[in-house]
Amino acid sequence: MRKTKSVSQIIAAHTLTYFNFLNLVLCVLVLISGQYKNILFMGVVVSNALIGIVQELRVKKLIDRLSVLTATKARVIQVDAGTTDPERIMSAEIEEVPNESLVVGQVIRLVAGDQIVCDGTVLVSEGMEVDESMLTGESVPVHKNIGDELFSGTHIVAGGGAAVIIHTGEDNYASKLVEKARTKKRASSEMQDAINRIIRYVSFALIPIGAALFCIQYFRAHAGMSDSLVNTVAGVLGMIPEGLVLLTSISFILGVGRLAGKRALVQEMEAIEALARVNTLCLDKTGTITTGALMVEKVVRIREVSEAGTDENEIRRLMEGIAHAFSETNVTGDALKAFFEDTKPYKVIDTLPFNSRRKYMGVVFEEAGAYVLGAPDFITKEKQILQKSEEYATKGYRVLLLSKVDGMTDMPQDLAGVEPVALIVLSDCVKEDAPETLKFFRDMGVQIRIISGDNPATVSAVALMAGLEGGERYIDATTLPTDPEELRRVVGKYTVFGRVSPEKKYDIIRAFQAGDPDDVTEDDKKSKKQGCVVGMVGDGVNDVLALKEADCSIAMANGADAARQTAHIVLTDSNFASMKNIVKEGRTIIGNIERVSALYLTKTIYSVLLCVLFVIIGKSYPFIPIQLSLIGATAIGIPSFLLALEQHDEVVISGFLRHVLRISLPGAIGMVLVTCVVQILDKVMMLGPDVVSTLNMLLGGAVSLGVLVFVCRPMNKVRLAMCVGMTVIFVGACLIAPQFFGILPIL
């Protein structure tokens, strides 16, 4: 279950911050000066903290409720301690309990797709294969027999069985190592990286610039202790981008809450931005554009007189034995079990579970011998059979080949004595909402790539039925180049990839992220933005490697534990169609933050420039805190929250800082220029301090409101009303209470 912050942690996160401490120090300085009206800025600080706490507490309640739905549970077998008889263990009742409730000595049931959460010892193995790459770095699954150890953090990739728990919690073998090893790649956040960089630079500059500003005003401009303190506070206060920090955190928090309402559990807030910037979305066919449910359409005997000596009745008996030989299940297994009765025609003496690497399963019967069932092209090289299989595949059917073999082997190339018996033809239905969903992504400028373990012709046919543009461009992933640079040149030419192994999915994701080397410019290399921002949707163990590597990974709640634990976002309704609303919400959140960040950075930049300028010329800072509070409220604070609530689905592209500076830098320079003009006029015309203060206030407000108008482009009725309203408030405040704001009466 996703761990959210405690109430105390939330309160601390919004109160015990560097900027809050700095504001408190500035407040004390203003109190010392005796000009109490200038502590009005603390009202904004307190309000910001309260808003952040209340909003995050509300979201915490929603996320905690939602997390229960996706919490990982273990299947505890109700047997007496010390029981080792496999039949008694596997036939006993099973109870699902939360992982945190597990205790040493309990026996747990394990199936393919489970993540192992406690160290244990295998009591029953039904062809159990475990991926221990998180511990060992070795990607080849490890066969587990009775008595073998299982380690937390690893997961079952094939087969299943039962194990007794020997360690829990921190007592698990190398639990710290496992925690590091299973840490997924964090969702990328270009925006937060840029904001954190700005905050770091400003933080370093605050104290020396503030000290220099005070010294210049007190010792050189002879402003007096009270005025020197207030003017210094005004200069430092303007440099603090606290509103930007608040807006970003609140937007992300509210975004997590809104996405939770759309049945999406965000496990990393940065994933919202990554999702908004995704321009290539990779997904499996099953459960996304198809329902995921399969149905056996027919059984096609290979030859009239089979070399394996089988007729239609014998084929059915063999399939009945194979279909019910495995206790773990998947959609293909469910379809086979539904079509073939559980008559137990032969005694099963050995099994080889299906996995996505070898593409087949196997059973050894005591009376009938060994048989394998799986992808035809992984079992036989007979052209006639492969051609027949391809004919069905091009019509959108899945095809399995049943073959008699001399003996089971884990590697397809080692199969010997292969005697094809029958083709099992299955159908897969396209989801009703798939065409609309795919069209949405096409309109949003997101390229869809289907990455499936099925026959590429089958996947292509289904993709075309679902209306996927370019679905006819398919390739068998086993024929893709192994050289990374060559793979980068090839992947962009195809929309559908079939017969994809877990490792190849990983390679394809990386190839899309890197981009075609022939299309990468020198500017791209410098900016490190060479390829695509890749999203990956998956639900199985075979998707874990790709989910880890993707910029934003999305898993289905009804998928494998390992996939849910790895993903940045979990769809709690397991419905790919809900991605439409999720992408819209993500783009809205990030687009709004980018739009209003320019407002906050304009103030930060011009405050830094003005502080440096007035230190150089040795004059008092041109604004007092109360004036900046009015300018900040009308041109930045209130508009930013209104703009942050807007709904739109504009395309979010890379280059956050560049986009923001394109607006904020000219605005900040404009503010510095008008302030310099006022200083020159004062020098020439001897205007006096009151007139200078009034001009600074009015011109500074006009420039800030001008930046607001620029940010609101393209203007609509709501934005126009907001701009007019903020202008009225600013002018009204100057007219009604000029003395309060330290300016001359205008009327």
Please give the Cα distance from 236 to 30 (Å, whole number): 12
The residue among 556, 644, 636, 660 whose CA lies nearest residue 255 is 644
Please give the Cα distance from 348 to 325 (Å, whole number): 7
E strand spans, 560-625 = 569-571
**Residues 582 and 259 sit within 8 Å (Cβ to Cβ):** yes
Measured in degrees and rounded to the nearest 5, phi and psi for residue 326 equal -115, 130
Active site residue 406: no
End-to-end CA separation in angstroms for the chain = 63
Name the residue type at position 608: V
For residue 624, what is the DSSP state? -
- Distance of alpha carbon 444 from its chain centroid, rounded? 18
* HSE value, Cβ hemisphere, 13 Å, CA-based, for 665: 6
**Residue 474 pairs with which residues in a beta bridge?**
496
**Residues 704 and 631 sit within 8 Å (Cβ to Cβ):** yes
CA distances from 321 to 274, 325, 365, 372, 571 (A): 47, 6, 8, 12, 36
**Residues 177 and 132 sit within 8 Å (Cβ to Cβ):** no
To which residue do tokens 């409720």 refer?
A: 65
CA distances from 246 to 37, 138, 202, 272 (A): 24, 44, 16, 17
Task: Say which of 284, 539, 543, 551 is annotated catalytic.
Answer: 284
CA distances from 164 to 99, 135, 153, 353 (A): 14, 20, 16, 22
Most distant CA atoms of the chain, gap in Å: 112
Please give the Cα distance from 599 to 645 (Å, whole number): 16
Name the residue type at position 286: T
**Positions marked active-site:** 284
